[in-house]
A and B are shown apart, each in its own frame.
Chain A
Amino acid sequence: RKEVEQDPGPFNVPEGATVAFNCTYSNSASQSFFWYRQDCRKEPKLLMSVYSSGNEDGRFTAQLNRASQYISLLIRDSKLSDSATYLCVVNHNQGGKLIFGQGTELSVKP
């Protein structure tokens, strides 16, 4: 079993839809949490860090529930350009290695 597990994809949604990704992590000692976005054959790019208080960046909202060891990402008003693989990522300590989920592929259609 992977340490970080994500919803299996792909998610195929129309433009303008709201889509939610879920992620669970097994190591309660995990310290930092992130969502990265990866386009095909390119490097992962940080989408947002995730905090217990929840955080929002435009159309993107991330939530962390430490008690349930659960992380979520909500994308509102999906755009064609949101099509990518979304990676749930944790690390155990500052400066430590990143541990990736298997990723969830999102395809936004016209």
Chain B
Amino acid sequence: AAGVIQSPRHLIKEKRETATLKCYPIPRHDTVYWYQQGPGQDPQFLISFYEKMQSDKGSIPDRFSAQQFSDYHSELNMSSLELGDSALYFCASSPAGRGTDTQYFGPGTRLTVL
């Protein structure tokens, strides 16, 4: 079965650079979530989209923005990167609009900021 696709899988950036992470949800899933998992920590919710509209916002820095496109894929844009942004970034998708809320996670993007 098709799963959530994330790209790139690994990314290395310098401080103050920008990064764009992409997420392709499972087909027919209308809701996308972004989570950040720092070393030794549990995943923390950043932001979510339902039908291309932002549906919820968590502890996402103002330096980060995200959107969901007409084909339901989503991009997380990160600017002025800081060392503390080094983490695993997971995207999850769900057919939430269809009455079930199980979230399926992609393999993640490992971001390293030097």
> Which stretch (A52-60, A67-75, A76-84, A95-103) binds chain B?
A95-103
For residue A49, which residue of chain B has the nearest CB? B102
A10 interface residue per 8 A CB criterion: no
How many of chain B's residues touch chain A, expressed as a range?
Answer: 20 to 34
B42 touches A101 (CB 8 A): yes
- Determine which of A46, A100, A102, A103 lies in contact with B102 in the assembled complex, contact meaning CB atoms within 8 Å: A46
Query: Which residues on B are within 8 Å of A, measured CB to CB?
Result: 31, 33, 35, 41-45, 48, 50, 55-56, 58, 88, 90, 92, 94, 96-97, 99-108, 110
- Report 17 cross-chain contacts, Cβ distance below 8 Å, ordered by A residue: A43-B90, A43-B105, A43-B106, A44-B43, A45-B105, A46-B103, A87-B43, A95-B31, A95-B50, A95-B55, A95-B101, A96-B101, A98-B43, A98-B103, A99-B45, A101-B42, A102-B42
Query: Which residues on A are within 8 Å of B, measured CB to CB?
Result: 32, 34, 41-46, 49, 87, 91, 94-103
